[in-house]
A and B are shown apart, each in its own frame.
Chain A
Amino acid sequence: MTVKDIFETMEYGPAPESSAEALAWLADRGGIAGPYVNGKWGPLRDDMSIHNPATGERLAGMTKSTPEDVGAAVKAARKAQPAWAKLGGHGRARILYAIARLIQKHSRLLAVIETLDNGKPIRESRDIDVPLAARHFYFHAGLAQLLETEKPNHEPIGVCGQIIPWNFPLLMLAWKIAPALAAGNTVVLKPAEYTSLSAMVFAEICTQAGVPPGVVNIITGDGDTGAALVASDVDKIAFTGSTAVGRLIREATAGRHIALTLELGGKSPYIVFDDADLDSAVEGLVDAIWFNQGQVCCAGSRLLVQETIAEDFHARLRRRMDGLRIGDPLDKCIDVGAIVDPVQLKTITDLVDAHPEGDHHVAATPLPATGCFYPPTLITGLSPASPLMQTEIFGPVLVGTTFRTPAEAVELANNTRYGLAATVWSENINLALDIAPKLTAGVVWVNGTNMFDAAAPFGGVRESGFGREGGWVGLSAYLKPKTTGKTLKPIAPHSGSGGHDGLDRTAKLYIGGKQARPDGGYSREVYSPKGALLGHASLANRKDVRNAVEAAAAAKGWGKTTGHLRAQILYYIAENLSARAGEFANRIKDMTGKDGNKEVEASINTLFTYAAWADKYDGAAHGVPIRGVALAMREPVGIIGALCADDAPLAGLIGAMAPAIAMGNRTVLIGSEAYPLAATDLYQVLETSDVPAGVVNILTGSHAELAPTLAAHLNIDAVWSFSSTDLSETIEKASSGNLKRTWVNNGKSRDWTNPDADSFLPAATETKSIWIPYGE
């Protein structure tokens, strides 16, 4: 075309970034992506092929690491870990800083390789992925520097197996490796099968930065390799990927005393109120669902628009979609690149084709003739029941419906198994700041979307996984307390044959603020160590668990109460317990044979501790690089089921209950199996202490029998186990149903005279990051 022709048509024309340097880089290294273990490459085998999804061309071969290769990498990491931890925070900070600088120095190579491999637009890899990856290492260099003074009671977990997805290969690598290294762990990281090339560049950066051999190990391969890593001798698995695979990993790691964090899928709501800046909200959707071709776990993929503006908004949106430019990802003038692989393209195509309901608008913009491309698509007029409103599509497909009121918007937004992110558009600060905390999500963006920073924790609730990445909260997922308990011996109930002294007293269950007979109609005798009959305790069954959870669910207002109110109630419990201290001490003595006074005092101290924390476990305002603020709000986890300690029948129950309810959770507590009567005696204390019905529910019975029901219950958000019966594997495995958080003792004891707020408060809360850009 001549200048004159273009002067008339005003087309953009091609603006390609060169791939020559990147391809030469690959060729110089033999054109094979393979393991980087103990600071060395290999074995390099052409087991698999890596393709450019935009063209279908082969970019490189790849080693499919065998379980032996994986074992060698884990061994190298194990060997390197003590010295890496011993290097100290400052020593590690220097190396993380060097990595950050080297990422910047090789920024264009990384960006081009990422785009060739993944198909994302060069603008995104250049302006978003690579700078955020560098930022992550800078930030964590700082955390490493401060670690010893800020977290003196913690130490690294050990060897971390890390499995990352193909949508942000370098960025997810950074999110995984930076905190692990900062905390003193060593890693074995498996990049995704489709996208292993930027990890090769990163491996070279590690060598240049002076990362000691074995501290960072990278193993290439497919799902089998990942499974081998999960099965290997690691101390932690950190996974980002699909909910289905996350569930398999949860099951595979159950009972192995392995720390686990999962960052999984989402179907994040994008809510537009009628007072929003509609054009800006439309533009936000470009960043929400057409960023990285919609292959983003936190993509705003579920559009909820207020009815009054829906027609106008959809018209503006369709017009904007028609202006999106799709094409060669290396072109600096395109908005939407290639889908990562033909397999993913088929998944998207099949899902959309299978559900013709709703109004489909396909962007009126030309698609390249070849390569893996899917057009930006909007499907409106759906109902919450439509499968496309519930299923994660992981592609450039936006689905939507309308709402009438703010309350309905929240209800629709939360009508999902996921809980990763949410977006709210409104110019009304009252509305926006009212809605944000009500959304079930780990991240909420107000008048913006897909904003990320190393300082602001990112992660989900519900089936979007657990654990946070970023900030001190994210770092804590790579640390453990220095102290560990002793091995717990299972405590069996005492036996005996004596009859009852005095008037018979029946200990029922405590459900919904009332004492209830057990559904099964069974009780068992409770004897003293010398065989005297102390009373009868009910044997709860699965239906009692169901009833208790229903009562807890009905008490949802508890999470919205003020910390001040919750503190008052905890103090009141302490007051009423104190008034009956002697009676409780005697009961403990009768059941255990040990002096009970200390345990009662410890329980009162614990109640005071969490009453104190109830209005003091503050969130944070993170310094993120925008004009605005990223709030980290502490929210209750929801309904927590806890198998309470057998050895400390009162302090163990209070020790779990107090932090949970102080943070606004509702609880289903299973009292000590061997010594249940301290728990049942507590009913009257709770009844006289203004604890709202359903906030605390107490069952007694067999831990082994009740644990699977608790762990599998889909309306329980977390299960804790301090039982002397080691139920860790049972609980972790059964928890995969709704991917509830678990906190198990792995058969270790705990000192119940220490409230241990360091451990309990994080377990009793979720961190929600709320991004609020501002400026007029």
Chain B
Amino acid sequence: MHTQTPTKSDTAQLPQLHLPRNDGMELDMDWVARVQANTSAIERRAATLPGRRSVKKQFQAAWLCKAISCIDLTTLAGDDTAARVQRLCAKARQPVSPELLDALGMTGLTVGAVCVYHDMVETAVAALDGSGIPVAAVSTGFPAGLSPFHLRVQEIKESVAAGAKEIDIVISRRHVLSGNWQALYDEMRAFREACGEAHVKAILATGELGTLRNVARASLICMMAGADFIKTSTGKESVNATLPVTLTMIRAIRDFEARTGIKVGYKPAGGISKAKDAITYLAMMKDELGDRWLQPDLFRFGASSLLGDIERQLEHHVTGAYSAGWRHALA
């Protein structure tokens, strides 16, 4: 697959529209009821994977560049200002110093998207103009998802109108915890519809779902209801992305593809801050789902500090000397 070329902004990251979108399907409760997730076994697989997969030298550099191309560079803070978002967007366009990218032969590499609150969408869209980098907006009463339903739907519409190409919605955790699967399905359906052409990522807030079985069920239901991506966390829960949760969710993605032929994307978010972790996530995607899921139209990291660690590792690759944080531009 052809992804980035440095000169043409319209071939850039995301979403790559040549895959059919997930239009969803009827809620299939039989399927949902059959879902199993054995926590101990899933944890064992997750624990041994880092010891089974290792990339070195130029392979490591290439994988780290890939990780950058999949980052949703994110700021979701109460003190966000236009200037802060503009800085972030500048970093999104030039995530690594031009000299390092030149040395790596990766000139033109950008992050996958910029992710902000609704009020910052217009600022971000303007700041990214011409870069081809899409703006994602967190929505639907993020992070708790407890504002009035019609306002949550309206929020999506306004973010799309403001230029967001991707909408990260939060599900109502209470529907999962109370076993109200139909309500979860209907809610997701409504959100998807409100997104229109914009792609929708369903944030499950896995840290609040109690069990991996619930994670698997919620994953399936959101895909049945038309999610383009399923995403672990808002980054605001006490437990965010983990490898066991990832394994559970991407196995659901694999099941969904086996049943429908539709590829749904995956976004772990929160807590991934080390280059080594990013490689482990990529390896898990590659081994469990296949190479196709290593492209930014099907895989994103929701991360803010990950990029800094990757930059240091890339400089080490180029120079042979361990790097320092202050040598790399702030977001």
* A contact set with B: CB distance below 8 Å: 1-15, 123, 126-127, 275-281, 283-284, 315, 323, 332-333, 335, 427, 447-448, 626-628, 773-776
B32 to chain A: closest CB distance in Å? 15
**Cross-chain contact A776 with B294 (CB below 8 angstroms):** no
In the complex, are the beta carbons of B45 and A2 less than 8 A apart?
no
Q: A6-B62, A7-B62, A280-B38 are in contact. Are A776 and B211 (CB under 8 A)?
A: yes
A276 touches B63 (CB 8 A): no
Q: A6-B58, A10-B291, A276-B38 are in contact. List 5 more A-B contacts (CB 8 A).
A: A10-B63, A332-B54, A333-B55, A427-B36, A448-B41
Q: Are A3 and B42 in contact (CB under 8 A)?
A: no
**Do the beta carbons of A776 and B36 come within 8 Å of each other?**
no
Give the complex CA separation of A14 and B58 in angstroms.
10
Choice from B45, B106, B211 contacting A7 with Cβ under 8 Å: B106
B105 interface hit (Cβ, 8 Å)? yes
Is the C-beta of B66 less than 8 angstroms from some C-beta in chain A? yes
A13:B48 contact, CB within 8 angstroms: no
Contact A13 B213, CB 8 Å, known A7-B66, A447-B41: no
Given contacts A3-B65, A6-B59, contact A284 B294 (CB under 8 A): no
Q: Which of B36, B251, B282 contacts A275 (CB under 8 A)? A: B36
Residues 36 to 62 of chain B near chain A (Cβ within 8 Å) = 36-45, 48, 51-59, 61-62
Shortest CB distance B196–A (Å): 32
Q: In the docked arrangement, what's the CA distance between A736 and B63, Å?
A: 57
CA distance A9 to B1 in the complex (A): 9
Contacting residues, chain B, for A332 (C-beta < 8 A): 51, 54
B44→A448 contact, CB < 8 A: yes
Contact, CB under 8 Å: A123 / B51? yes
Give the total of B residues in contact with A, Cβ under 8 Å. 43
B287 within 8 A of A: yes
Contact partners of A14 in chain B: CB under 8 A:
56
A315 to B211, alpha carbons, bound, how many Å?
A: 27
0 or 1 for each of B270-304: is its CB under 8 Å from A? (1 = yes): 00000000000011001100010010000000000
The answer on a CB contact under 8 Å between B59 and A13 is yes
Q: CA separation between A284 and B283, bound complex, in Å?
A: 19
Closest to B59 in A: A13
Contact of A277 among B36, B59, B283 (CB under 8 A): B36
**Cα–Cα, bound, A418→B38 (Å):** 29
Residues of B contacting A278 in the complex (Cβ-Cβ under 8 angstroms)? 36
Chain A residues within 8 Å of B39, by CB: 775-776
Nearest residue, chain A, Cβ from B287 = A323
A3 to B69, CA, bound (A): 14
| Complex Cα spacing A8 to B65, Å | 10
Contact yes or no, B53 A333, CB < 8 A: yes
Partner among B36, B42, B45, B56 whose Cβ is within 8 Å of the Cβ of A15: B56
Residues of A within 8 A of B251 (CB): 279
Task: Write the chain B residue with the least CB distance to A774.
Answer: B40
CB <8 Å contact, B59 and A447:
no
Do A127 and B294 touch across chains, with their CB atoms under 8 A apart?
Answer: no
Q: A10-B63, A275-B36, A277-B38 are in contact. Are A1 and B58 (CB under 8 A)?
A: yes
A284 to B40, CA, bound (A): 11
A627:B291 contact, CB within 8 angstroms: no
Contact B106 A283 (CB under 8 A): no
How long is the Cα–Cα vector from A688 to B116 in the complex, in angstroms?
Answer: 86
Q: Are B287 and A2 in contact (CB under 8 A)?
A: no
Contact of A13 with B58 at beta-carbon distance under 8 Å, contacts A7-B106, A335-B52 already known? yes
CB-based contact A4/B105 at 8 Å: yes
A773, B41: Cβ atoms closer than 8 Å: yes
Cα-based distance from A128 to B36 in the complex (angstroms)? 28
Q: State whether B56 touches A3 (Cβ < 8 A).
A: no
Given A127-B48, A776-B39, A3:B54 Cβ within 8 A: no
A-B contact pairs, 14 of them (CB 8 A): A6-B61, A7-B65, A8-B3, A12-B54, A15-B59, A127-B51, A315-B258, A332-B54, A447-B41, A627-B40, A628-B40, A773-B44, A775-B39, A776-B213
Chain A residues with Cβ under 8 A from B162's Cβ? Answer: none
Contact A10 B286 (CB under 8 A): yes
A278 to B34 CA separation, bound complex (whole angstroms): 11
Q: Tell me if A277 and B41 are in contact (CB < 8 A).
A: yes
Total contacts A to B, CB within 8 angstroms?
A: 108
Residues of B within 8 A of A775 (CB): 39-40, 43
Please measure, in the bound complex, the distance between the C-alpha atom of A346 and the C-alpha atom of B103, giving whole angstroms: 49
The distance from the CB of A74 to the nearest CB of chain B, in whole angstroms, is: 41
A218 CB to closest chain B CB (Å) equals 30
Residues of chain B contacted by A5 (CB below 8 angstroms): 62
A281 CA / B212 CA spacing, docked (Å): 16
With an 8 A cutoff between CB atoms, is B190 at the interface?
A: no
Q: Which residue of B lies closest to A626 (CB)?
A: B40
Docked Cα-Cα span, A4 to B109, in Å, equals 10
Q: Is the CB of A11 within 8 A of B106?
A: no
Instruction: Report if B104 contacts A (CB, 8 A).
Output: yes
Tell me, rounded to whole Å, the shortest Cβ–Cβ distance linking A127 to chain B: 5
The interface residues of chain A lying within 8 Å CB-to-CB of B55 are 12-13, 15, 333
| C-alpha gap A275/B35 in the complex (Å) | 9
Complex Cα spacing A10 to B60, Å: 10
CB distance from A446 to the nearest CB of B (A): 10
- The distance in angstroms between the C-alpha atoms of A335 and B287, with both chains bound, is 12
A2 touching B58, Cβ below 8 Å: yes
For B287, list chain A residues within 8 Å (CB): 323
Q: Please measure, in the bound complex, the distance between the C-alpha atom of A281 and the C-alpha atom of B41, giving whole angstroms.
A: 8
Q: Taking CB as reference atom, which chain B residue is nearest A284? A: B41
**Closest chain B residue to A1, Cβ basis:** B58
Nearest residue (CB) in A for B61 is A3
Q: Are B36 and A276 in contact (CB under 8 A)?
A: yes
- Closest residue of A by beta carbon distance from B251: A279
Does A280 lie within 8 Å of B42, measured CB to CB? yes
* A280 lies within 8 A of B41 (CB): yes
CA distance A3 to B64 in the complex (A): 10
Complexed CA–CA distance, A281 and B251 (Å): 13
Is A280's CB under 8 angstroms from B52's CB?
A: no
Please name all residues of chain A whose beta carbon is closer than 8 Å to the beta carbon of B57 when the two chains form the complex.
13
A127 to B52, CA, bound (A): 10
- Would you give the shortest CB distance from A120 to chain B, in whole angstroms? 13
Minimum distance in angstroms from A129 CB to a CB of chain B = 13
User: Which residues on A sit within 8 Å (CB–CB) of B66?
Assistant: 7, 10
Least distance between B60 CB and chain A CB atoms (Å): 8
Contact B294 A10 (CB under 8 A): yes
Contact indicator B105/A447 (Cβ below 8 Å): no
Q: Which of B37, B39, B105, B283 has the most CB of A within 10 A?
A: B39
Contacts of A15 in B (CB 8 A): 54-56, 59
Kindly state the separation between the CA atoms of A123 and B62 in the bound complex, as whole angstroms. Answer: 23
Residues of A within 8 A of B69 (CB): 7
Bound complex: CA of A15 vs CA of B50, how far in Å? 13
In the assembly, what is the distance between CA of A15 and CA of B53, in Å?
A: 9
Evaluate whether A277 and B105 lie within 8 angstroms (CB atoms) in the complex, with A7-B66, A127-B51, A333-B52 already known.
no
The complex places the Cα of A540 from the Cα of B43 at a distance, in Å, of: 60
Closest A residue to B62 by beta carbon equals A6
Interchain CB contact under 8 A, A448 and B40:
yes
Q: With the chains together, A448 CA to B286 CA distance in Å?
A: 23
B residues within 8 A CB of A13? 55-59
The 7 A-B pairs of least Cβ separation, nearest first, read A13-B59, A6-B62, A280-B41, A773-B40, A277-B38, A277-B36, A15-B54
Tell me how far the C-beta of B43 lies from the nearest C-beta in chain A, rounded to whole angstroms.
7
- Are A280 and B45 within 8 A (Cβ)? yes
Shortest A7–chain B CB gap in Å is 5
Residues of B within 8 A of A447 (CB): 38, 40-41
Residue picked from B38, B251, B291, most chain A C-beta under 10 Å:
B38
Measured between beta carbons, the chain A residues less than 8 angstroms from B38 are: 276-277, 280, 427, 447
- Could you say which residues of chain A place their CB within 8 Å of the CB of B1? 8
Q: Nearest-CB distance from A393 to chain B (Å)?
A: 24
User: How far is A2 from B59 in the complex, measured between Cα atoms in Å?
Assistant: 9
Q: Say which residue of A3, A7, A12, A280 sits within 8 Å of B53 (CB atoms).
A: A12
